[in-house]
Amino acid sequence: MGAVPTLGVVAIDCPDPVALAEFYRAVLDWGAPDVSDDGHWVTLPNPAGGAGIAFQRVPDYRPPAWPSADNPQQMHLDLEVTDMEAAHARVLDLGAKLLDDKPKGFRVYADPVGHPFCLCAC
């Protein structure tokens, strides 16, 4: 490894790492997550070899409020799609909640524990 780091995972706080990993596994159509022995840390490896997503259990988790400065989103994922209507129906069926469909080229959703994410057809 050199002095320049590479991105390994993006870690997301949540109340149930296994459940949230399963949601994103279904959304992204990735393989099975790697679950720690105690279930407090779950990694969803990227099958293409890039950065994955990790989920960590946080006691007394409070979801972000979008849009709000009181409990800000702190981060979100942009997921690129080529068929917005099909992707929209799919994520809603998997448990996402639509937050905003007004912006041109993308839509904002909340995952099952409240983290915002966008479907982008930009």
The CATH number linked to 17 is 3.10.180.10
Residues 41 and 19 in one domain: yes
Helices (H), the chain: 17-28, 84-93
Q: What are 89-101's pLDDT values in tens digits? A: 999 999 999 999 9
More confident residue, 5 or 63: 63
Q: Are residues 32 and 71 in the same domain?
A: no
**What is the span of the domain harbouring residue 74?**
62-122
- Same domain, residue pair 68 and 114: yes
Average pLDDT value for residue range 53-78: 86
Q: Which residue has the tokens 């992204």?
A: 28
CA dihedral 116, 9, 56, 97 (to 10 degrees): 20
pLDDT (tens digit per residue) in 3-39: 666 778 999 999 999 999 999 999 999 999 999 999 9
Task: Report residue 88 as tokens.
Answer: 């929209």
Distance CA 71, CA 64 (A): 5
Whether 71 and 53 share a structural domain: no
